[in-house]
Structure 1
Amino acid sequence: MKNQGIPDDEFRGKPVIGICNTWSELTPCNAHFRELAESVKRGIWEAGGFPVEFPVMSLGETLMKPTAMLFRNLASMDVEESIRANPVDGVVLLCGCDKTTPSLVMGACSVDLPTVVVSGGPMLTGKYNGRDIGTSDLWRFSEDARRGIMTEEELNLAEAGMCRSRGHCAVMGTASSMACMVESLGLSLPGNAAIPAADANRKVLAQLSGRRIVEMVRDDVKLSDILTREAFENAIRVNAAISGSTNFVIHLLAIAGRIGVPLSIDDFDRYSRDIPLVANIQPSGKYFMEDMYYAGGLPSVMHAIRAHLHLDCLTVNGRTVGENVDGRRSLNTTVIADMEQPFNEVAGVVILKGNLCESGAVLKPSAASQALMQHTGRAVVFEDIEDYKHKIDDPDLDVDETCVLVLKNVGPKGYPGMPEVGNMGLPAKLLEKGITDMIRISDGRMSGTGFGTVVLHVSPEAAEGGTLALVEDGDMIRLDVPNRRLDLLVEEAELEQRRSNWKNAANRFTRGYVKLFVDHVEQAHLGADFDFLKGKSGSEVSRDSH
């Protein structure tokens, strides 16, 4: 390494700290990470460490086809093997866009070295026509464009006004939910989740993280020391308080599987039930991540629900959760409320069971319509995403607002990769009537910026022969959120007859990574990780190349 112009003494007696960087011009959310890495390096040098920056696969939500989720496990393998194979004593993970955070944490968990996460931060609040906007608003603008009440030029101006600074989505979408996840788990310094990407304090946090990782290496504080069962319970409760993305479920399950902490999909319902919505952030609220930062950030959210948290959990700064949130009251109760006067008594995620989702399905009640929480309706079925696109705007589609839209074969194996299409747009003829929500059911996911009465992650998926594969047009489906049920009201004998005629189409892939994915990906209720990646392999390499 001396050919990089490094003096001989710099190599002696210093912990080697890897900076795992997901910078890419194809990942707009992470495009400022070169600069952020320099701040991390500065902190590492100051603390007496030796920084080495290295790239790993970057997953950009906006551009990757067919979906970034297809490559989450691949990126995690890249991270795992890069950390294990190289002589690093600790690692700083630079992550921002949706899948970069879970994939980097998953890979690092499999090696279990001292680790600190530095998120890229949210964009500044968007502006359009004198009002604040974010990614969630673009879903509404898109529907307005389909209805002909917004022009393409106006849509483009809104898009430009939304994306006015570096950083990831400015709402509580998946990227912000993942930043909150790592902070609530104790993997980042306090305040990491909400500092805007454009704020100088983002660089300050990065530099302090660089200093802290050197101390963690010297104290031998590993991921497994922080990621206890109690830390995962804290993260679930915090996700409820912020009404975080439904994608939180699938990513936290995968992380737990890597570090070896028992966690089931039912835990998300169990530990969310008593937590109301205290962070008034879009899409479930009114404000934006920048506002949450000014109101005190995630430490203030955690202070608000501290009675429900395990306050003795260790975090990467060497202090406990309780010490980190002590005295961090909300600076603006309009944005971050308290438990006694929350913005919404309903928060978190609901886990549904029933004959239509034997292993579970996910619904976000704070983003749904109360009138649809108990509803029975006629199924309008789309066999795959192409079938949906072909039919949805057909004026002859036999559908009304009481129907239930069902989209099949968009799960882990069926698509493959489980895309964010679960909050499918409503039929054009119903939009023209002013209908804004319907029950929608699929084995896919939805963007954390999305909203609606949407049942997601149906497991087993259609491509695995789950009951979802057997739904036909005209079948009656009953959603009963209070009782956590989702049922197809068809006699079992009829379902058995349909099952005997079902054919699996998921094995159509014959080569490359996609074949590996389809052959080994687990179902959504297990985290959609690869079956051979459960547990951790550690940092030891049994054979030396020299």
Structure 2
Amino acid sequence: MARRSAEWFGAFGRAGMTARSWVKNQGYSDEVFDGRPVIGIGTTWSELAPCNAHQQRLAESVKRGVWQAGGFPLEFPNMALGETLLRPTAMLYRNLLAMQAEETIRANPLDGLVLLSGCDKTTPGLLMAASSVDLPTVMLTGGPMLNGKYRGTEVGSGTAVWKAEEDLVAGRITQEECYFIESCMSRSNGHCMTMGTASTMACIVEGLGMQLPYAASWPAVDARRYATAQRTGQRAVELVDADVKPSDLLTREAFRNAIRVNAAIGGSTNAVVHLIAIAKRVGVDLSIDDFDADTREVPTLVNLAPSGKYLMEDFCYAGGLPAVMKELGGLIDGAVNTVSGATVAENIADAEVHDRDVITPFDEPFQAVGTGTAVLRGSLAPGGAVVKQSAASPRLLRHRGPARVFEDVDDYYAVCKDPDLDIDENTVLIIRNAGPKGYPGMPEVANVPVPKKLLDRDIDDMVRISDGRMSGTAYGTVILHVTPEAAAGGPLALVRDGDLISIDAAERRLDLEVDEDELARRRAAWQAPENPYPRGWPRLYVDHVLQASDGADLDFLVGGSGSYVPRDGH
């Protein structure tokens, strides 16, 4: 079979000499240009993205597998998106990573890909790129950190931060204790070991069939992750030989499996935005309503923080994702093909649950059917909003209360410690202008802490509503992704202090109890904000980003252009 890379390395004359000669300056001999598959190993390694800082070692293991299978590995960098350091939010740059990786892949002599990701946005960003180029691809996520250990207890990354912040504000711990907790929380390479967005997307990619079985849960420092990396390199060569591309695997049935996986693991609400964006790259019709409809029969089986008490290391030893998928039985489509070369049913046939407190039985689940991500609609969210029911307080999933509106998250933080703040436990906090256009980038700011005056009364949850996102490591009754967002003129922009808001998660309702005539007057007075950015990526982003319900991709990036092949030596 003619290789795409042969258009570079097999070319005659100047074009071939240029391609081969400059690669030889790295010490490669002539036989690497003999027509073997060239496998690009795309990493998001960076010391500015701590979760991904071990990818260089992973890449070396992948290369070993590529060589063993008769391929030629070439490593290349991609934009690193570390949620912990990058400001204003890594989500602002997910689409830029996807575009940069797509163009790098398309413009170079690559026949297949291994894509190494880790922190939240690197996984969907790279898969969006691969889906648009559609070359044979295997993904490998970097793996979770080891469990945090603090004074005889286990602490989970992210989730422990929110809890420590509450305790610090309430005066239950000191700043010095916070320093100690943060060191206990991050004690190895890897991404968050809670079921945050990084762990969620690792499981999602495995659930989609784009990552080898068990690869989502091996700890980052476990030798078996590096053995999996070696096998991943081998599989990339085999996929090229078999001409199996993402478009062959990312079917609607694969996305349905992933949606149900997300519900069963108590996964992050961020999976909604990312999966829709990926689906649009391969032409699969996926909407936020699918996340509701396809999870109505799915219980939460995994007892992991933030919804439960265990962490990813425990999940790994309990059986990992194949055990969960097997436990879901007929809710998983076993006929779906995967990058392993086997079907889902074949991948999970021998899976076993080794700890029933971590992965619970289907008929005795950790949380009952109907506690996954719910999609709410109504006069406040005509385009939809989402709530992670498993992380919310059940008593607040049906609630009616007066709004207290904050134009942005900074306005809230300026007053949240004020003992005279005019709120109580019935108040509905509105944090707006945190959507894709409004912030910009749709940051993880929706889960603002409960005001100090309520924490002092031991009230640790209240309804919060926003057009932004929240970290998958967070918890609380937080209604997210309200669409259309405030900056796009959605009803959220029209809410005023004191307006009554009603929530009924069981009925999937989110309503603003203001009559239409009054809303019409407010709408007529509302003015759309101008793009405040004169140039660069933020300018392009704000002008072209889609709403959360459409995956928050850029409008001109939806779909794919395939893989460019040079002609006539150019």
Equivalent residue runs for 1:186-265 within 5 Å: 186-265=209-288
What is the CA distance between 1:149 and its match in structure 2? 1.2
Partner of 1:112: 134
Unaligned runs of 5+ in 2: 1-22
Task: State the match for 1:518 in structure 2.
Answer: 542
1:167 maps onto 2:168 in alignment = no
Specify the code of the residue in structure 1 equivalent to 2:63: K
Aligned to 2:7: none
Taking the aligned partners of 1:279 and 1:347, their CA distance within structure 2 comes to 12
Secondary structure of the 2:354 match is coil
Shift of 1:147: 1.2
Stretches of structure 1 that go unaligned for 5 or more consecutive residues are none
Quote the residue 1:443 is aligned against: 467
* Rounded Cα–Cα distance in structure 2 between residues aligned with 1:506 and 1:182: 37
C-alpha RMSD of the superposition:
0.9
SS at match of 1:513: helix
CA distance in 1, matches of 2:485, 2:415: 22
Alignment partner for residue 280 of structure 1, among 296, 300, 303? 303
Q: What residue number does 1:152 align with? A: 175
In structure 2, what is the equivalent of residue 21 of structure 1? 43
SS of 2:347 mapped into structure 1: helix
Segment drifting more, 451-460 vs 536-545: 536-545
User: Is 1:463–1:506's contact at 8 Å kept on the other side of the alignment?
Assistant: no
- What is the CA distance between 1:390 and its match in structure 2? 1.6
> Which of 74, 80, 100 is the matching residue for 1:78?
100
Mapped partners of 1:111, 1:79: distance in 2: 10
Find the aligned partners of 2:152 and 2:354 in 1 and give their Cα distance: 25
2:474 matched to 1:431? no
> In the TM superposition, what is the alpha-carbon distance from 1:503 to its structure 2 partner?
1.4
Report the residue type matching 1:229 in the other structure.
R
The separation in 2 between residues aligned to 1:350 and 1:375, in whole angstroms, is 15
1:202 offset after TM fit, Å?
0.5
In the TM superposition, residue 137 of structure 1 has moved relative to its aligned partner by 2.0
| Deviation digits for residues 163-212 of structure 1 (CA, Å, limit 9, x no counterpart) | 00000001100000000000000001100110000100000000000011
Q: Does 1:141 align with 2:164?
A: yes
Instruction: Give the 3 Å change call, closer, same or farther, for CA 225–430 of structure 1 in structure 2.
Output: same
SS of the equivalent of 1:507 reads coil
Corresponding residue SS for 1:300? helix
Distance (whole Å) between structure 2 residues aligned to residue 386 and residue 277 of structure 1: 34
Name 1:91's counterpart in structure 2.
Answer: 113
Higher mean displacement: 204-213 or 330-339: 330-339
After superposition, the C-alpha distances for 1:464-508 in whole angstroms (9 at most, x for unaligned) are 000000000000000010100000000110001011111122522
- Paired letter, 2:129: G
Letter in 1 for 2:209: G
The aligned amino acid for 2:340 is N
Q: Partners in 2 of 1:249 and 1:543 — Cα distance?
A: 40
Whether contact under 8 Å (1:393, 1:429) holds in the other structure is yes
1:410 aligned residue (428, 431, 434): 434
Tell me the equivalent position of 1:335: 358
Give the residue type in structure 1 aligned to 2:174. T
Matched, 1:365 2:394: no
1:289 aligns with 2:308: no
Residue 103 of structure 1: aligned partner? 125
Which residue pairs with 1:477 in the alignment? 501
Q: What residue in structure 1 maps to residue 71 of structure 2?
A: 49
AA aligned to 1:218 is D
In 1: Cα distance, 2:60 partner to 2:564 partner: 29
Cα separation, partners in 2 of 1:545 and 1:492, compared to 1, 3 Å: farther
Partner of 2:199: 176
C-alpha spacing 1:256/1:163, structure 2 compared with 1 (3 Å): same
- SS of match in other structure, 2:380: coil
For residues 323-354 of structure 1, the C-alpha deviation after alignment (integer angstroms, 9 at most, x for no partner) is 11113121111111121111110432100000
In structure 2, the residue matched to 1:391 is: 415
Specify the alignment match of 1:308 in structure 2: 331
Do structure 1's residue 400 and structure 2's residue 424 form an aligned pair? Answer: yes
Q: Are 1:414 and 1:506, in contact at CA under 8 Å, matched by a contact in 2?
A: no
In the TM superposition, residue 395 of structure 1 has moved relative to its aligned partner by 2.2
Q: In structure 2, what residue type is equivalent to 1:417?
A: G
Distance in structure 1 (CA, Å) of the matches to 2:137 and 2:568: 24
- Cα distance between partner residues in 2 of 1:509 and 1:52: 37
Secondary structure, aligned partner of 1:272: coil
